[in-house]
Amino acid sequence: MDRKDIFQEAHTSSRIGHDEMRLLTLLLALFIFTGPLPGQSILTVTDGSGAQGSSTSLSILLDNGDGEVQGWSFGACHDTAALTLETIELGSTAAIVNNGDEPAFLALNTEIGGFTMGVVINLFGAATLPLGADYELVRPSYQILGAAGSSTTVDLCSTLGSPPVSITIVVEGSSLAPATESGTMTTVTAVSFIRSDSNGDGYTDLADGIWTLRYLFLGGVVPPCVDSADFNGSGAVDTADAVGTFLYLLLEGPAPSAPFPGCGNVGLPQDCAVSNCP
């Protein structure tokens, strides 16, 4: 081995050691450091609502007021008598935070009464999260167990995991403790209605498609039950709903989404000022 090869090997070894040390420092800051300093950032759980038995997603957002964030960790706790954690998805920000990709190190773990998240964005510091607001880190979905009129909270916590995962963001190698805001999940009553009865007269006919078009484009009257005008059940009233009504009535197109032809609900809070059920 000549002197050039020896130098290249030594340089490579030194680089690997440096990168490993960076990763170790970040991981220690996230999972072992027990006394993060107060920071200027805020972690927030959004509010949500749904009928008993329905599934509703919340978001955990970061308002970063501290600097270039290299990683974060936290737990999210809930009352198991009021909510059941169903799924955990990466938030829109976290999904692309590593130069358009997911974080290089990602740990999402379910626990009794919640879940934990730990992230190192890039092992070599090539990507960070800059100053900014409303960064969506994760999107958990819960089944609502509580009775109508009840509410419960989803709280950022540092009691889950073994050892417990702290509420921490890492900025330039330093562990900081963000402020936290809990989210409230409210159980609402699901209103029964009939799909594709935009004008609320109890029938599905051409007048319903016309009512929907006038509402969308001509400043027409808002449907008495907006969800009834959502012919295809997409969650939004648009041109496709009016077209679907005409196709169903005139060209044997697909029938409206449930609830149809009878009254019912889909386990979600409905945008219905007045039920159109008989």
Q: Which residues pair with 57 in a beta bridge?
A: 141
Quick one: average pLDDT of 207-211? 94
Contacts of 117 (CB under 8 A, 6+ apart): 60, 72, 73, 74, 75, 76, 107, 108, 137, 138, 165
10 pLDDT exceeds 70?
no
Residue 256 tokens, joined: 């409206």
CATH architecture of 190-278: Orthogonal Bundle (1.10)
Residue boundaries of the structural domains of the chain: 3-188, 190-278
pLDDT digits over 90-118, tens only?
A: 999 999 999 999 999 999 999 999 999 99
Residue 140 is predicted with a pLDDT of 98
Average pLDDT over residues 238-262: 93
The conformation of residue 98, written as its DSSP 8-state character, comes to: B
CA distances from 249 to 154, 235, 252 (A): 46, 22, 6
Interval 161-185: pLDDT, tens:
999 999 999 998 899 999 999 999 9
Least confident of 30-34, 141-145, 169-173: 30-34
Q: Regarding the domain delimited by 3-188, which CATH topology (the fold level of the hierarchy) does it fall under?
A: Immunoglobulin-like (2.60.40)
Average confidence (pLDDT) over 233-250: 92
**CA-CA distances (angstroms) from residue 143 to 50, 59, 112, 164, 201?**
9, 15, 15, 25, 34
Task: Return the pLDDT at 46.
Answer: 98
**Per-residue pLDDT for 4 more than 50?**
no
Residue percentage of the chain with pLDDT more than 90: 62
Cis amide linkage into residue 36, ω under 30° from 0: no
Q: What pLDDT was estimated at residue 55?
A: 85
Within 10 A of 81 (CB to CB), how many other CB atoms are there? Answer: 9
Tokens of 57: 């997603």
Supply the mean pLDDT for the chain. Answer: 85
Confidence band for 156, pLDDT divided at 50, 70 and 90: very high
Tell me the chain's radius of gyration from C-alpha atoms: 25
Q: What is the DSSP string of 71-88?
A: EEEEEEEE-TTTEEEEEE
> Would the pLDDT of 201 be above 80?
yes
Q: What angle do CA 183, 87, 104 make, to 5 degrees?
A: 95
